[in-house]
Amino acid sequence: MKLRIIFCLLVIRCLSAPAQEPEYDHIFFDNGLMAGRYYYSRADYTSPSYIQNIENKLPVSEKEYFTAKNSLLLNYVSAPNGSWSASILYHDWRGKDFVKEGKSLDFKLFVKSGTEAEELPLIAIGAINKKETTTSSFINFNDYISQFKQEEWVSVSIPLSEFKNLSYTNTKEIKEVLFKQNSQDGKEHTLYIDQVELSPIQKPVSNVIVPAIKAKAYERHVDLWWDKSGLENIKYIKIYRSEDGREFKQVGIQYPYTGRYADFTNEPNKTFSYRIACVNYDYSESQPSNIVESTTRYMTDEQLLDMVQEASFRYYWDGAEPNSGLALENIPGRRNMIATGASGFGMMAIVTGVERGYITREEAIQRFKKIVAFLDKAETFHGGYAHFIDGTTGKVEPFFGMRDNGADMVETSFLFQGLLTARQYFDKNSDDEKYIRNTITKLWKNIEWDWFKKTKDSKYLYWHWSPDQEWVINHNLIGWNETMITYLLAIASPTHGVGKDMYYSGWASQEKLAQDYRADWGQTRDGAMYSNGNTYFGVKLDVGVSNGGPLFFIHYSYLGLDPHKIKDKYVSENYFENFRNIALINYRYCVENPKKNIGYGADNWGLTASDGPWGYCAAEPVDHQDAGTMAPTGALASFPYLPEQSMAALKNYYRNYGSFLWGEYGFRDAFNLNENWCANIYMGLNQAPVTVMIENYRTGLIWNLFMKDPDVQRMVKEVFIK
C-alpha cells in the first residue's frame, strides 16, 4: 500500500525545485500553540545544578513575552559539581524546505532581577549536514547583547561566524540552539527567551500602508481579516485587542502571507475591539489600523456546524494557489505547489460554500473557469494528472521523489470526483457554465484509464506511471483502502474505460497476491480476503482489513460517491452501513482507550491519517498504529455515520481545545495530548472532508450531485447490486 497508508513518515525534502517558491524565515521559536511544555525543546540537569523542565522539555510562559502570546522559560541554578543544558529544536514540516539564508542568530531576552551578565548561560548551535550532526563550540552570549538590562526585553544578535567548529553548507541545515551552564554561583536565575531565529539581511520596509481590517465574532473566537497584498516584505502582522475600546494589548502575531487571524478568547457574550499593525524585520511597527468591534455569543448546534464548515471551506477559497485556483498540499507549506487530490476535494467544498452562502454562484463560476483553464493546459500523462503540480507552470512537481514524476491515478480520481460534481452543479445555459461543463468533459474523456492496467490482460489498475521510468513504483491497486473511487471512475469512463469485472478482479481481488498485500499492511489476516466477518468491540464488520483501518478509508472515495447507493456481494446491507460500523469500531476503541492515551473518550475519537509529532502517520484503532495522535477530521468527516458522536467531538474540540486547535482554517490538522503537541499546519486532504461530509449529513448535496452524473449512474448499474 502507498507510503501514506503503511508508514509514519515526514516528507521534508524534494529532489527538484519549483519556480520561484517563496522562502520562509528560519524561526526556532516565536510562539507555542499549547501551554505547558514546548514539544520542540529539550532540558536536562545533573544535581546540584537544576533547570526547570516538564518531562525534559522547556516550559512555555505567558508571564512575559516579546511577541504575544508566550515565551520560553529558562529557570536554572548553576552550582559547582553540577550541570544543566537546554536546547530549542527547529521544527521542520512538509513543504517548509525553502528557507531564507541566515546571517546571525538573534533572539529577545528578558532577565529577571538578581541575574548579572556574567551569570548568563553559554550558547551554541547545531547542524545536520549530509546526515552528520555537529555542534559548534559554546560561547558567552553576554557580549552580543545590545545593552544588558534587567526586567525588560533586550536584543541578542550573534553573527554565525562566531560559532566555530560547525559543519554546514547552507544555514537551513542549522537545526538546534543550545544553552548550558556557565557560572557556578549556586543562585536561581530566571530568563525568558522569545523570537529565536536565524535572521537574514532584510531591509525594513518604509511607509507601509496598514490594511483595513474586518471582524466577525462566533461563540469563543473572533475572525479578523484584511487584504494581504503588498505585505510580502514585512515580518508579521501584530494583533491588538481591547475589552474597553481604549486600552489595547497585543494578543498575537500572524504571518503576512495569511491575511486572516482567529483570536480565540474563550469568552462568549463579550464585546472586543481590535486593531492591527505591520511589524518590520527590525521589529519596528507601523501606525495602527482602523478599529473594529465584535461581540461573541453562544451558538446552537446548527450555527456551530455552519462555523466549522465555513472555516474549513476557506482553506480552498482564501488559501488557494492564486494562478490555478487549486488547493495547496498544506498551509503553511509550499505556496506554489498544488495537490490534485486535495483540489478535487476543495471543489466539492466550494460548491458547498455557494449553497451555504459563503460565496456567490458567480464567484464560484469565476474560480472554476480559472481552475479548468489551468487543468486544460497542465501536464498530463495519458490523461492522468500528477500528485503535485507547480501552480506557476502547470508542470509535474515530484515532491515525493523522482520516481513519482508522472501520473498518480488515485489523486486523479480524487480530482475528478470534484470535477464531475462541478459538471452537474454548473448546469445553467450561460456561456461560462457551458465552458466549465465542456472543459470538464474534455478532461474526463482524455483520461486513458485502460492504459493504467499496465498490460492488456492485467486484473489490476496501477497507482503510478512515470514518463522516464514507467512502472517503477509498480503499485497495483487493491482494496480495502481509500482507492475504490479509482476503479469506479475507470469503469465509468465513456472513452477509455475498463471492464466492470475489474471491481472484483482488482479492487476486491481474491488472489494470493491481494491477500498477502492486505495482510501485510494490516499486520493481520483479518480481512485478507477483502471480506472480513469478524466482530470488534461488539460490532460486526463485513468488509475491511483488520478492524477497519484509518477513517479516511470511509471518507476520501465517498465525498461524492454515496455509499447508500452501493452494495456488492460482500456487504449485507450497503456500504453506508459497513462504513457506519467502521466508524463505530473506531469510536468504541477510543472510548475504551486500551493504551490510556490522554484525552481519548466519547468526545475525542476518530483515528485517521494526519500530521503527527514524529511526522505524517495513518493512525487506526489498533495498538501498533495508535500513538495518541487525534485528527479532528476523523470524527467530523464521519458526521453522516455517527452524527451524535461527531457533534460531541466538535464541541469538545472547539470549546475545550480551541485555544490551541482552532485557527483561521478551522481545526488544525491534529494534536497529541500525551506529547503536548499540536500541528501548526492544515492539510488539504483533511479540511474539505469536514465541510463536505457535514453537508452530506445535513442535506446530501454533494452525494446527490455526483450520483446524478450519467457516467456515474451507468457505472453503478453495471457494478453494484440493486
Burial 13-43 (b: 16+ CB within 10 A, else e): ebeeebeebeebbbbbbbbbbbeebbbbbbb
Q: Residue 104 pairs with which residues in a beta bridge? A: 159, 199
Q: Centre a 10 Å sphere on the Cβ of residue 704 and count the other Cβ atoms it contains.
A: 14
Burial 197-233 (b: 16+ CB within 10 A, else e): bbbbeeeebeebebbebebebbbbbbbbbbebeebee
pLDDT tens across 568-585, in order? 999 999 999 999 999 999
> 459 exposed, middle or buried (CB, 10 Å; 0-12, 13-18, 19+)?
middle
CATH code for the part of the protein at 304-719? 1.50.10.140
Give the predicted TM-score (pTM) of the model.
0.96
Cα Rg of the chain (Å, integer): 27
C-alpha grid cell, residue 448: 486513458
Per-residue model confidence (pLDDT) at position 7: 36
Superfamily of chain region 213-298: Immunoglobulins (2.60.40.10)
Percent of the chain at pLDDT exceeding 70: 97
Summarised one tens digit per residue, pLDDT across range 520-572 is: 999 999 999 999 999 999 999 999 999 999 999 999 999 999 999 999 999 99
Cell reading at 585: 469500531
Q: Alpha carbon 446 to chain centroid distance? A: 31
| 131, burial (CB in 10 Å: exposed 0-12, middle 13-18, buried 19+) | exposed
| pLDDT category of residue 20 using cuts at 50, 70 and 90 | confident
Q: How far apart are CA 244 and CA 263, in angstroms?
A: 17
State what percent of residues in the chain have pLDDT above 90: 94
What cell was used for 18?
519549483
Q: Identical fold at 26-199 and 213-298?
A: no
Q: pLDDT, tens digit, for every residue of 228-267?
A: 999 989 999 999 999 999 999 999 999 999 999 999 999 9
Residue with cell 458547498: 352
Q: Which fold has domain 26-199?
A: Jelly Rolls (2.60.120)
Confidence band (pLDDT; 50, 70, 90) for 15? very low
pLDDT tens, position by position, 80-104 = 999 999 999 999 998 999 999 999 9
Is the model's pLDDT at 453 over the cut of 80? yes
Q: What's residue 9's pLDDT?
A: 37
Residue 632 and residue 661 in contact, taking contact as beta carbons nearer than 8 Å? yes
**Comparing C-alpha atoms, which of 477, 482, 485 is closest to residue 560?**
485
pLDDT one-digit tens code per residue, 397-438? 999 999 999 999 999 999 999 999 999 999 999 999 999 999
Alpha-carbon distances of 630 from 87, 266, 516, rounded to whole Å: 27, 22, 29
**For residue 262, what are the CA distances in angstroms to 58, 656, 681, 684?**
26, 16, 14, 19
Residue 140 pairs with which residues in a beta bridge? 122
Q: Which residue has the cell 442535506?
A: 699
Domain ranges of the chain: 26-199, 213-298, 304-719
Tell me the C-alpha to C-alpha distance, in Å, between residue 509 and each of 30, 320, 361, 553: 51, 38, 43, 18
Encode pLDDT of 198-216 as tens digits: 999 877 777 888 999 999 9
Nearest to 76 by CA among 38, 114, 105: 114
